[in-house]
Amino acid sequence: MGKEFAVDTEFFISKLSDAKVTFERALDCKHTEFDDLYPYMLEHPQFFWYKRYVAWSQLLTIAELCQELNVPWKDQFTPQQVGYVEQRVMSAKVLDFWFEKEHASR
């Protein structure tokens, strides 16, 4: 038999929101905690790709945990972004169109 436990939905939504902000900041090449961990890497062009990959992985991990724990994570994203997260692959399409509606309205 599985053990029953209470899930703190607010905690997971907060962590998901933080991960989304970190990923979006990484996409825009803005400062994240990752920059503080590896300040010597800022001079290397591949650093920004790696930073995006790490942020994407964190976002996917938290979204997957939310899914498994029945925490309603999809409300934090546009339908298009939900599709990207569910596909799990950080493709050029994700990098180019994550902000599609926001960038189109600018």
Which range of residues forms the domain containing residue 52? 16-104
pLDDT at 19 over 60: yes
Give the span between the Cα atoms of 4 and 25, in whole angstroms: 37
pLDDT at 103 over 60: no
**Contact between residue 59 and residue 84 where contact means Cβ atoms under 8 Å apart:** no
pLDDT at 10 over 90: yes
Could you tell me the pLDDT band of residue 39, with boundaries at 50, 70 and 90?
A: confident
> Looking at the domain assignment, is residue 9 inside a domain?
no
Task: Give tens-digit pLDDT for 48-102.
Answer: 889 999 999 999 999 999 999 999 999 999 999 999 999 999 999 999 999 986 5
User: pTM for this structure?
Assistant: 0.85
Q: pLDDT value at position 104?
A: 46
> Looking at the domain assignment, is residue 10 inside a domain?
no
Q: pLDDT value at position 4?
A: 66
> Looking at the domain assignment, is residue 62 inside a domain?
yes
Q: pLDDT value at position 101?
A: 64
Residue of 59, 50, 74 lying closest to 22 (CA atoms): 59
Helix (H/G/I), strand (E/B), else coil: 99: coil
Q: Report the Cα 103 to chain-centroid distance in Å.
A: 18
> Looking at the domain assignment, is residue 4 inside a domain?
no
Helix (H/G/I), strand (E/B), else coil: 100: helix
Helix (H/G/I), strand (E/B), else coil: 30: coil
> Looking at the domain assignment, is residue 40 inside a domain?
yes
Our count of domains for the chain comes to 1
